[in-house]
Amino acid sequence: MTLRVRLGVPVLAACIGISFSAAASDLTIYDALDFAPTAVKAFTAKTGITVDVVEPGSTGETLGKIAAEGDNPQFDIVWVDGSAVMERMLRDHVLQSVPEDTVSAVKFNEMGKTLLPKSRAFLPTGASTTAIEVNTKRVPADQMPKSWADLEKFSGKVAAKDPNLSGPAFQWLAGYFQTNGVDAGKALLLKVLTNKALAGLPSGGKVNKAILTGDAVVGINQDSGIIAKAKAGEPVVAIYPTDVSVALPVGLGISAKTKHMDAVKKFIAFVTSAEGQAAMQNGDDTDFFFMPVIEGVKPKVERPTDIKFIVLDDTKAAAGEMEWKQWYKDHFVP
């Protein structure tokens, strides 16, 4: 179900004759991020620019809505977890490259500079990664997995998300194939994800639920979601595998057909500022626990940043996206 939230200046302003530079439909953002409405509310309060926030559901559902709109896109900005999907949409002329003057105005930290793609298919506004989620009440400390390969000993009790629906799941799958090789990666997953009831879950929340109820004891999940649950007092821990994981940028892309580039640039300037980043951390759900990519911005106290990760080869991942998603669906989704 698509959730559409109208965020803008008070109606009273129009009634008393105050005019703003922003029109009624200044900007439309499609997103699958917990903090988007919070960030948009702060942006509107600061600028007076009105924004329609459209949240179709998961990243997959958001991308599906964009695909269904075809040559008549209704969004100006798409804001989701993942980089390869942005590269693919740039290649397909759904997105345009982020203007260089907009990029150069952002004060990225070293991580941000690393995650900024040469193609400028998207602008990173934060990052997370994928970790192994473990139920600490069901897995003794001396049996904790240390690598993705260690998940084989938990075969049948491993929860994972369907990359056809989850942007973070596809980012992880593509990164896993990048580090292990596609054939070897597929072979291991066939040994690990032997329970379709757990292997094709639609969201990180469902992975959390499976682990907390005991249906699964470990899972492959976005680390920010695990951190949020741990902070809430749940018996879970995020383990970062020794064979590394892939960086998961919070990617902001610009529609190739936007007619509101001035408002788009102002929004980007805001969410990459200290004020905008603070608004993006003002909550306790999954996405609020991101790693900042902006110079001088500190993460939430529970958020580790000294994590070994690789940067995804987005071009190769985008080229393999359709085949890899179908393979996963054929083998692991009920």
For 64-104, the pLDDT digits (tens) are: 999 999 999 999 999 999 999 999 999 999 999 999 999 99
At residue 3, the pLDDT reads 60
For 266-305, the pLDDT digits (tens) are: 999 999 999 999 999 999 999 999 999 999 999 999 999 9
What structural domains does the chain harbor? 3-127+249-305 (3.40.190.10), 129-246+314-332 (3.40.190.10)
Q: Tell me the torsion sign for CA atoms 233, 305, 254, 276.
A: positive
Which residue type does 330 have? D
DSSP state of 99: P
Is residue 221 very low, low, confident or very high in pLDDT (cuts 50, 70, 90)? very high
Q: How far apart are CA 39 and CA 54, in angstroms?
A: 14
Distances from the Cα of 46 to the Cα of 38, 282, 297, angstroms: 13, 16, 19
- DSSP, collapsed to helix, strand or coil, labels residue 168 as helix
Residue 55, pLDDT > 80, answer: yes
Q: Please list, in sequence order, all residues whose beta carbon lies within 8 angstroms of the beta carbon of residue 83, skipping any fewer than 6 positions away.
A: 115, 117, 121, 122, 124, 171, 248, 249, 251, 312, 314, 317
Q: How far apart are CA 222 and CA 130, in angstroms?
A: 4
Question: 3-state DSSP helix/strand/coil percent for the chain, to nearest 5?
Answer: 45, 20, 40
Residue 316, pLDDT > 50, answer: yes
Residues in the chain: 334
Provide the whole-model pTM.
0.91
Least confident of 13-22, 29-38, 76-85: 13-22
DSSP state of 298: P
- DSSP, collapsed to helix, strand or coil, labels residue 214 as coil
Distances from the Cα of 195 to the Cα of 39, 64, 199, 202, angstroms: 38, 27, 6, 15
| Cα-trace Rg, the chain | 20
At residue 6, the pLDDT reads 58
Q: What is the mean pLDDT of residues 180-200?
A: 97
